[in-house]
Structure 1
Amino acid sequence: MAIILNNTVIQQLKLIGGSVLCAALAAGCSPPVDIDPRAHCPRPMEKPIVISKEELRSQVAFTQSETIKENGKIVVYNDYLLVNEPNIGIHIYDNIQPELPQPLGLLKVPGNIDFFVRDDIIHATSYIDLVQIDISDLNNVREVGRSKDIFSANLFHHGWYPRHKYHIDSRESVVVGVEFYTEPKEGCDEEMEQ
C-alpha cells in the first residue's frame, strides 16, 4: 500500500518538525534549576604591574653577588663568565679558573632577557630599551648608552600583555609583570573557591 501525501500535508509536517526542533533547542539552552553556588564566586583575576619609564631607566646597578634562581644565556668573555638571570640582570664571575668560577657581582638590569658583549661593553635588553654598560673596570661599572623604546611596550619576560586592555599609556609607563588576585565576594568562602 502506497502513501500519497499532498503538498499541504508535507508543509504541515515541516512546520510541526521545525516547531519541535526549535522547542528542543530552546529547552536545551535554558539554565538548570540547581545552579552551583561556586559559579558565582570570584575567579582569579589579573592586573598589570606598571612602573614609569623614568623609574625603569634609573635601576641599572652593579651590586653584590646573589644566588641565581633561574639562569638564561651564558657567555664567556675574556676572563669573565656572564650568566643572565631573566628579568633580573647579569651575574658576573671571575673565570680565570673555569673549574671554579668566583662570583664578582650582579649587574642589575630590570627586564633583561638577552645580551652580548663587545669591546668591554655589555649590550643588554631592559624591557623596552637596549642598554650599553661599560665593564672595563668592575670598580666603576657604568651605563654608557641607551637606545630607548626600541622593543614592544607590552613584551615582558613572561609573555605579551595587552596594554590597551587596561588603558596603559606606553609613552610614560612600562608593564613589568602581572599580578594575580581574587576579589572577596559575599557568600563565598575559601572552601567554595577551591
Structure 2
Amino acid sequence: MRSILAITARLMLLSLSAFVFAGCAKDNCQQVRTYTIYKPVFRTKDSVRNNIHSNVARAIERPGKIYVKGNYIFLNEIDKGIHVIDNTNPAAPVNKAFIDVPGNIDIAVKGNVLYADLYTDMVAIDITNPLQVSVKKIIDNLFPYRLYGNGFNPDGNGSDQIIVDWEKRDTSVVEYCTQPFFEMDGGVFIATSGSNGVKSSPFGTGGSMARFAIAGDRLYTVSRSDLEVIDISVLENPVVRATVSVGWNIETIFPFRNQLFIGSATGMFVYNISNPDQPQAAGRFSHVQSCDPVIADDNYAYVTLRSGTTCNTTINQLEVLRLASGSVADPQLVKTYPMANPHGLSKDNDLLFICDGIAGLKVYNAADVQNLVLLKTINVNAYDVIASGNHALLIGQDGLYQYDYTDRNNIRLLSRIEVKVP
C-alpha cells in the first residue's frame, strides 16, 4: 500500500512534469530539476524503548510543548524526545539531558512521573531524578490515529520498525518528457526550484498547544476526535478507563476545576468531570472553522483563532466568552479582539499573555474583559507561554525565553536558550 506522502509526491511530480512537458518544444524535451530527498531512519521497537533514559543533552532544534516541574523544565523536541533543563536559576538555565522518545509531541507530569506519546503508544517515565529517568509502563496503540511523520509509512517495513530520524540530501536530475519521474525507494520527494520552489519536510507538527491535561487522578488526552480517560491514581501504572467521542478536528484541552475546555476547529466544547471516568458534555460555543487553543478562569473562557493552518480560515482574533454565573452550559461571546496570528495563551490573575506569532508576545491587563489594555509587546515569534507567580516561560521560533513580570510595567528578560537551526 502506498503511503500518503508517496501519493502526494507523485501528484506533485505529475504537475511538475506537465510544466516540463509544456516547455519541451523549447527545451529539447528535458529539464534539470533539484529535489530534496528525506529518507526515514528506522530502529526496532525494542531498541527504541531500551533507549528511553537520560541521554547526553542535545541542542534544541524544533521546540514544541513545555512542562514545568519543580526546578526542571521538560521541553518537547518535536518527533524526537524531551529536553531536561535545570532551571534552579532562571537567569542561567542549564540544558542537562535528553530523553529519546521518537514521535513525541505531548507531555504531562504528575508527581514524579512524566507521561509522553511515542507515536501511537504512551509511555510513563519515572523522573524522580530527571538525570536518571526510567520507563515504568508503556500502553500500546493508545493513539491509533497518530501516524509517522506526516503520515509516512513506507511499504516493506513491519510493525516492529519505528522512524527515529530522517536523512536529508539534495539531488539534481535531468527529467525527460518520456520519463518525467525521478524515484528512490523509501524516499520522500520535495521539489525545490530555486526561490519559487515547493518546500516541505516529512516531520510532524506540534499541533495546537496541549493535548494532554491532568485533573485530579486522571490524565485526559485528545486526538482528532476522541477524549481518552486514563487513571493515574497509581502514577507508575496508568490504566485506560474510557474513550469518549467528542467530535472532529479537536485541537486542545484545558482543565479548570471540574471541567475540561476542549478546543476544536469549529468551536469550544465543555465537559463536566465530576465523575472523572465519565466526562459529560456540558456546553458548547460554535464559531467559524479555525484552530483554537482555549483557557478559562472562574468567569470567562479565552479562545484564540488563527489562519495559516489546516483549519482553513483567514480569521485571526481573540474571543472572550462569558461563563454566566460560573455556568458553562451556554457560553456567551463578550468581545473579540483582532490579532495577527495568535497561538498559545496564559493568564495569571488579571494579566493575559497571548503568543501572537510573528507579532510577538502580547501582555494585556485583562481586569476589564470589555477593554483589554495592551501593556507590552515582546518582539519574539511566539508559539506558547506559561505564566505563573510573576514568571513567564515562552517558546519562540528561535529559543526558550524566561521573563520576570513582578513589575508589569517593567517586564524583564531573565534568560534565553537559543534554538539551533538544523
TM-score tier after normalising by the smaller chain length: 0.5 to 0.7
Instruction: Report the CA distance shift for 1:81/1:32 in structure 2 as closer, same or farther (over 3 A).
Output: closer
Instruction: Report the CA distance shift for 1:43/1:151 in structure 2 as closer, same or farther (over 3 A).
Output: farther
Alignment of 1:159 with 2:150, yes or no, is yes
* CA shift digits 1:89-142 (9 cap, x unpaired): 211122233233233322222222111111211111122321111011235311
**TM-score scaled to structure 1, two decimals?**
0.61
1:173: which partner in 2? 161
RMSD between aligned alpha carbons? 3.5
- Which structure carries more relative contact order (alpha carbon 8 Å, separation 6+)? 1
2:99: which partner in 1? 107
1:61: which partner in 2? 53
* Alignment of structure 1 residues 3-152 onto 2, 5 Å: 34=25, 36-37=27-28, 39=30, 44=35, 48-138=40-130, 140-152=132-144
Q: Which amino acid aligns with 1:64?
A: V
Instruction: Report the CA distance shift for 1:36/1:174 in structure 2 as closer, same or farther (over 3 A).
Output: farther
More helix by share: 1
Report the Cα distance in structure 1 between the residues aligned to 2:23 and 2:79, rounded to whole angstroms: 47
* CA shift digits 1:145-183 (9 cap, x unpaired): 111233348723x4222x3xx424443223456556658
Is the CA contact (8 Å cut-off) linking 1:81 and 1:101 kept in structure 2? no
2:190: which partner in 1? none
Is the CA contact (8 Å cut-off) linking 1:60 and 1:110 kept in structure 2? no
Gaps of 5+ in 1: 1-30, 188-192
* CA shift digits 1:9-36 (9 cap, x unpaired): xxxxxxxxxxxxxxxxxxxxxx888363
Report the Cα distance in structure 2 between the residues aligned to 1:104 and 1:62, rounded to whole angstroms: 9
Is the CA contact (8 Å cut-off) linking 2:53 and 2:132 kept in structure 1? no
Report SS of the residue matched to 1:171.
Answer: coil
Is the CA contact (8 Å cut-off) linking 1:129 and 1:149 kept in structure 2? yes
1:12: which partner in 2? none
Is the CA contact (8 Å cut-off) linking 2:33 and 2:175 kept in structure 1? no
Instruction: Report the CA distance shift for 1:124/1:38 in structure 2 as closer, same or farther (over 3 A).
Output: farther
- Compare CA radii of gyration and give the structure with the larger one: 1
1:13: which partner in 2? none
CA positional deviation for 1:41: 5.7
**TM-score scaled to structure 2, two decimals?**
0.31
Report SS of the residue matched to 1:136.
Answer: coil
**Aligned residue-pair number:** 156
Report SS of the residue matched to 2:82.
Answer: strand
Is the CA contact (8 Å cut-off) linking 1:61 and 1:108 kept in structure 2? yes
Gaps of 5+ in 2: 1-21, 177-192, 195-422
Moved more, 107-116 or 55-64: 55-64
